[in-house]
Amino acid sequence: MAAVELEGLARHYGEREALWGVSLSLQRGQTLVVLGPNGAGKTTLLRILAALLRPHAGEVRVLDRRLPEESWQVRGEVGLLAHEPMLYRSLTAEENLRFHARLHGVQEQRVAELLAELSLSERAHEPLRTLSRGMVQRVAIARTVLHEPELLLLDEPYANLDPGALDLVDPLIGPGSGRTRVMCSHDPAGALREADVVLGLREGRVAVQGTPAEVSAEELEDLYR
Amino acid sequence: MSAQRESQVAAAQRESQVAAAQRESQVAGASREGELSLGAGAPAGALRAGEGTPAPTVPLRRAVGALLRKELLVELRTLESVPGMSLFALSTFVVFHFALNRNSVEGDLATGVLWVTLLFASLLGVNRLFVADAEEGGVDGFLLAPVDRSAMLIAKELTLLCYLVVLELVAVPAFALLLSVPMAHALPDLLLVLALADVGVAVVGTLVAALAVQTRARDLLGPLLGLPLLVPIVIGAARATSPLLVAGHAGTPAARWLAMLALYDLIFGLIAYAVFDFLLED
């Protein structure tokens, strides 16, 4: 069963086409890695899948729901990790996660579990603005998986994480998480390692698409030249 | 795709199915505990804009409680709105004290000084109302949750209402002291006028702030949009207050001005409820 199905997806900002003619299918449990230079349309794609942006043309189905008509039913089933951590800098990690737990109807003991799992318990009561970027990224990852979403939308999820932190977050958002993942990345080699489907975007259009067996690292690196 | 990768994907799909079953079980459990509501309990907003059958959603009251708690906690930590509003009001009364060159004021003049000061002080709070959300991605975080969007409207209105109450707890006594306004006997009636005006400012202010925060010129747009919409509230509140601020407290607030304030609150409350979803939408 497909978790994500796109057919001729297009989206523009004023005159500028951010995405045009994107079609793909991603099965449940699979990982789609999206690559492309800055401004290629990766973040726009994630925001459309998260039902935060409306597509201007084409068909979008996420978890068997058509967007934007059934966006209400997709909310709560996706976890979006964007560049912006969606956390309040003046609040502590625990307060931020408790707030999101309440919004998602998640029991608050899950907050303590996640903080412990991500080795954040000791700093959980300090304002977020006093934490390092890597720690804030870990809190943002905890927020993303707090409600056990079926589909993870991850925009450069490993940014700012040291090797130790990578090991901590891997069970939550890595290939072993058992979740369907759509992940933006600038790492062609990593993409070929982790992906079941690779999508390369350039100026909003599909430049490369296929399984890792069908796509070469050179093609992906060419996206940035 | 290699056989090894296919087996990994198959295993991931199995795990995904197990995880989905676990999630459904958790949702059902949470629902029994009143954490979530389904179908009939879903908020009206869930059914708007042709979005189909509502999914499990957090009850509106809980969502408003979570948002309001967060708003007040952020303000308590940052002290970005209420202290500024209060200091502005105090400074303005001091300026009026010297500019008018009087030891005391009453009647229409006192009313004008009070309401113009409260109006401009409240605009400072209106301008800051959505800033933390806009700058820190809070609106997106909220929109990703299975929550009726009206929860944010109500929580922001209540937040602004709290700000205004604290502002008036500081500003009204200071006004009475600095400008020697006779108001001891008028206090119960004045509280009624303040309450009706505050509700109006909170409703209109939230609407304007939600609109302005989407633009780059939000600091300018907030007051520009807000002032014309708040003028009827100032007129109603000033007319209702005027007879209260005279020596000996001769009058009571005219019922028609109180009714006008209540009607304005109601109309803008309905308008805000109807359009707020669209302000948050892409």
pLDDT digits (tens, 9 = 90+) for A38-49: 999 999 999 999
Asked if the structure places residue A140 within a domain, the reply is: yes
d(C-alpha A45, C-alpha A58), whole Å = 13
The answer to whether residue B24 neighbours chain A at the CB level (below 8 Å) is no
Q: What is the mean pLDDT of residues B75-101?
A: 95
Residue A56 within any structural domain of the chain: no
Residue of A nearest to B63 (CA): A103
Specify if A163 maps to a domain: no
Contacting residues of A for B142, CB less than 8 Å apart: 103
Overall average pLDDT of the A56-71 stretch? 93
* Closest residue to B50, CB basis, from A69, A105, A196: A69
A117 within some domain:
yes
Residue among B18, B55, B136 minimizing CB distance to A88: B136
Q: Residue B6 has what pLDDT?
A: 52
Which 28-87 residues of chain A touch chain B by CB within 8 A?
28-30, 50-54, 65, 68-73, 75-80, 82, 84-87
Burial of residue B264 (number of CB atoms within 10 Å: 0-12, 13-18, 19+): buried
Which residue would you say has higher pLDDT here, B252 or B60? B60
Which residue segment(s) compose the domain that A130 sits in? 87-148
Report if residue A119 sits inside a domain. Answer: yes
Please list every residue in chain A whose beta carbon sits closer than 8 Å to the beta carbon of residue B46.
72
- Residue A115 inside a domain? The answer is yes
The nearest alpha carbon in chain A to B65 belongs to A102
- A12, amino acid identity: H
Instruction: Look at residue A124 and tell me if it is in a domain.
Output: yes
Alpha carbon distances (Å) from B112 to A22, A183, B118, B192, B239: 60, 58, 10, 18, 10
Closest CA to B115 of B192, B163, B171: B171
Mean pLDDT estimate for chain A = 93
Per-residue model confidence as pLDDT tens digits over B5-51:
455 445 545 454 544 444 444 433 443 333 333 333 333 333 343 44
Which residue in this structure is represented by tokens 């006028």?
A: B193
Largest CA distance in chain B: 93
Quote the pLDDT of residue B55: 52
In chain A, residues with a C-beta closer than 8 Å to the C-beta of B138 are: 86, 88
Is A196 close to B5, i.e. CB distance below 8 A?
A: yes
Which amino acid belongs to residue A31?
T
Q: CA–CA separation, A213 vs A164, rounded Å?
A: 30
Domain count, chain A: 1
Which of B144, B152, B282 to mutate: most A Cβ within 10 Å?
B144
| A121 belongs to a structural domain | yes
Predicted TM-score (pTM) of the model is 0.85
